[in-house]
Amino acid sequence: MKRTITLTIAFITLVLMNACYYDSEEALYPQNSLCDTTNVSYSTTVFPILSAQCVGCHSGFGANGNVQLDSYENIVSAVNNGSLLGAIRHESGWSPMPKNTNQLDDCTIRKLEIWVANGTPNN
Ligand code: HEC
How many Å apart are CA 106 and CA 88, to the nearest integer? 10
Cβ–ligand 1 distance for 53 under 6 Å, the answer yes
How does pLDDT run across 77-107, given as a tens digit for each residue? 999 999 999 999 999 999 999 999 999 999 9
> Which of 7-16, 27-36, 74-83 has the weakest average pLDDT?
7-16
- Is position 43 within any domain? yes
Of 7 and 92, the structure prediction assigns the larger pLDDT to 92
Residues 49 and 85 in one domain: yes
Residue 12 has pLDDT above 90, yes or no: no
Give residue 76 CA to ligand 1 midpoint distance, Å: 15
Q: Which pLDDT band, with edges at 50, 70 and 90, does 115 fall under? A: very high
Cβ–ligand 1 distance for 95 under 6 Å, the answer yes
- Structural domain count, the chain: 2
Q: What is the pLDDT of residue 28?
A: 59
- Is position 78 within any domain? yes
Residues 73 and 19 in one domain: no
Domain that holds residue 22: 2-32
Residues 63 and 84 in one domain: yes
Which atom from ligand 1 is nearest to the alpha carbon of 94? 26
- Is position 123 within any domain? no
State if pTM tops 0.85: no
Mutate to test the pocket of ligand 1, among 46, 64, 103 (most ligand atoms within 8 A of CB): 64
Q: Which pLDDT band, with edges at 50, 70 and 90, does 21 fall under? A: low
> Which of 23-27, 41-45, 53-57 has the weakest average pLDDT?
23-27
Mutate to test the pocket of ligand 1, among 55, 88, 95 (most ligand atoms within 8 A of CB): 95
Q: What is the pLDDT of residue 66?
A: 95
Average pLDDT over residues 95-121: 98
Ligand 1 atom 14: the closest Cα is on which residue?
Answer: 65
